[in-house]
Amino acid sequence: MAIILGIESSCDDTAAAVIRDGVLLSNIISSQKVHEAYGGVVPELASRAHQQNIIPVVDQALKKAGVDKKDLSAIAFTRGPGLMGSLLVGASFAKGLSSSLDIPMVDVNHLQAHVLAHFIKETEDDNSQPQFPFLCLLVSGGNSQIILVRSHKDMEIVGQTIDDAAGEAFDKCAKVMGLAYPGGPIVDRLAKEGNPTKFKLNKPHIPDYNYSFSGLKTSFLYLLRDELKEDTDFVEKNKADLCASLQKTIIDILMDKLRKASKDLGIKEVAVAGGVSANSGLRAAFQDHANRYGWKIHIPPFGYTTDNAAMVAISGYYKYLDGEFCAMDVAPFSRVVV
Ligand code: KG4
Q: Distance from the CA of 275 to the center of ligand 1, in angstroms?
A: 4
- The terminus-to-terminus CA distance of the chain in angstroms comes to 29
Q: Is the beta carbon of 140 within 6 A of some atom in ligand 1?
A: yes
Q: If residue 292 lies in a helix (H) or strand (E), which one and from where to where?
A: helix 280-293
| Ligand 1 atom closest to Cα of residue 41 | 7
Over residues 197-205, mean pLDDT: 94
Task: Report how far residue 149's alpha carbon sits from residue 133's, in angstroms, rounded to the nearest whole number.
Answer: 5
Q: What is the pTM of this model?
A: 0.95
Task: Report how far residue 313's alpha carbon sits from residue 17's, in angstroms, rounded to the nearest whole number.
Answer: 6
Residue 33 has pLDDT above 90, yes or no: no
Whole-number pLDDT of residue 38: 83
Q: Distance from the CA of 220 to the center of ligand 1, in angstroms?
A: 19
Residue 39 has pLDDT above 80, yes or no: no
Q: Is the beta carbon of 81 within 6 A of some atom in ligand 1?
A: no
Q: Distance from the CA of 47 to the center of ligand 1, in angstroms?
A: 20
Burial (CB count within 10 angstroms: exposed 0-12, middle 13-18, buried 19+), residue 114: buried
Residue 337 has pLDDT above 70, yes or no: no
Task: Report how far residue 31's alpha carbon sits from residue 307's, in angstroms, rounded to the nearest whole number.
Answer: 10
Q: Is the beta carbon of 241 within 6 A of some atom in ligand 1?
A: no
Task: Report how far residue 39's alpha carbon sits from residue 32's, in angstroms, rounded to the nearest whole number.
Answer: 13
Q: Is the beta carbon of 130 within 6 A of some atom in ligand 1?
A: no
**Diameter of the chain measured on Cα atoms:** 69
Domains and CATH numbers, the chain: 3-126+304-321 (3.30.420.40), 134-266 (3.30.420.40)
Residue 78 has pLDDT above 70, yes or no: yes
Contact 29, 15 (CB under 8 A): yes
Nearest to 306 by CA among 285, 282, 276: 276
103: which residues sit within 8 A by CB, 6+ positions away?
A: 72, 73, 74, 75
Reply yes or no: is the peptide bond before residue 301 cis, omega within 30 of 0.
no
Tens-place pLDDT, residues 238-264: 999 999 999 999 999 999 999 999 999
Best probe residue, ligand 1, of 10, 36, 140 (max atoms within 8 Å of C-beta): 140
Tens-place pLDDT, residues 109-148: 999 999 999 999 999 999 999 999 999 999 998 899 999 9
85: which residues sit within 8 A by CB, 6+ positions away?
A: 43, 44, 46, 47
Nearest CA to ligand 1 atom 16: 275
Percent of the chain whose predicted confidence (pLDDT) is above 90 = 93
| Ligand 1 atom closest to Cα of residue 274 | 1
Whole-number pLDDT of residue 338: 44
Nearest to 50 by CA among 68, 77, 20, 69: 77
Whole-number pLDDT of residue 40: 79
Q: Distance from the CA of 31 to the center of ligand 1, in angstroms?
A: 14
The identity of residue 143, as a single letter, is N
Q: Distance from the CA of 173 to the center of ligand 1, in angstroms?
A: 13
Over residues 313-320, mean pLDDT: 98
Mean pLDDT (the chain, rounded): 96
Task: Report how far residue 218's alpha carbon sits from residue 224's, in angstroms, rounded to the nearest whole number.
Answer: 10
